[in-house]
Amino acid sequence: MDTIIYDISTEEYSVYCIYQPTSKDFLSEVFVKVPNAVYYLVMRHEYQPTMATLLLLAKQHGVKSPRPYKAGQPCDGSIGAPAYYLYFTLCTHFSFSPTELYEEAYPGETLTPEEVQSIISFATWQEVEVITEWSDTTITRILESLTEINHHQLRTVVEEHLALFFHRKHKQNEHYQKQYRGHRPHP
């Protein structure tokens, strides 16, 4: 069983490091916040690294990923939580259940409300763009974010639900137009 060495988050960094007895080494995942970006590094270590070493390695060798994260931003390993955050935002906007769509996409897998909150907190810490306009372009970019984190099946399920949503909305508009065609309010 893996042993957690570090699981620390501050305003400046997030460090997770475990010892893996099967491989007899340490695995770390480090995020370091800087203005308009995060440095991100996943690394194996033969010996237990210190916090100072992990932070230094992340700044020296990590991927510098722009923040706030923008929908459709290419994957660099660090965008999982922000991409999910935008998925949750889309689900909220269209009154979909993010956990139900996830389970539809991946039968037998669950996304608990606690996991959703944890992802939202971590994405907020990293900074994510605020969606103010729900255009076709915005929706497509959010769907591209799911593709970037290799959630192709989830993207497909979301697209199916969006198509059904817009089909129903179109039918409601047609019904309204037929029902009130030629009827004008009296002055």
Give yes or no for a contact between 6 and 49, defined as CB atoms under 8 angstroms apart. Answer: no
Residue 32's φ and ψ, nearest 5 degrees, are: -125, 125
181 within domain boundaries: no
109 within domain boundaries: yes
84, 152: one domain: yes
105, 56: one domain: no
166 within domain boundaries: yes
Whether the model clears a pTM of 0.85, i.e. scores above it, the answer is yes
Which residues form the domain of 139?
80-174
92, 161: one domain: yes
- Structurally, how many domains does the chain consist of? 2
Tell me the sheet residues that pair with 29.
Answer: 16, 42
Residues of the chain with pLDDT under 50: none
112, 163: one domain: yes
187 within domain boundaries: no
112 within domain boundaries: yes
57, 90: one domain: no
46, 101: one domain: no
pLDDT given at position 171: 66
Dist. CA 172–CA 8, nearest whole Å: 51
Going 110 to 116 to 122 to 123, the CA torsion angle's sign is: positive
62, 121: one domain: no
For the chain, give the number of residues: 187
183 within domain boundaries: no
Q: Report how far apart, in Å, the C-alpha atoms of 83 and of each of 9, 92, 112, 137, 180 are.
A: 20, 14, 17, 16, 42
Single residue among 41, 66, 91 that ends a domain in this structure: 66
45 within domain boundaries: yes
48, 108: one domain: no
Q: Tens of pLDDT along 17-42?
A: 999 999 999 999 999 999 999 999 99
Is the omega angle on the peptide bond into residue 35 within 30 degrees of 0, that is, cis?
Answer: no
Dist. CA 24–CA 155, nearest whole Å: 37
Single residue among 43, 66, 89 that ends a domain in this structure: 66
55 within domain boundaries: yes
Q: Tens of pLDDT along 90-100?
A: 999 999 999 99
Single residue among 18, 36, 66 that ends a domain in this structure: 66
164, 96: one domain: yes
91, 60: one domain: no
Cα 173 off chain centre by: 33
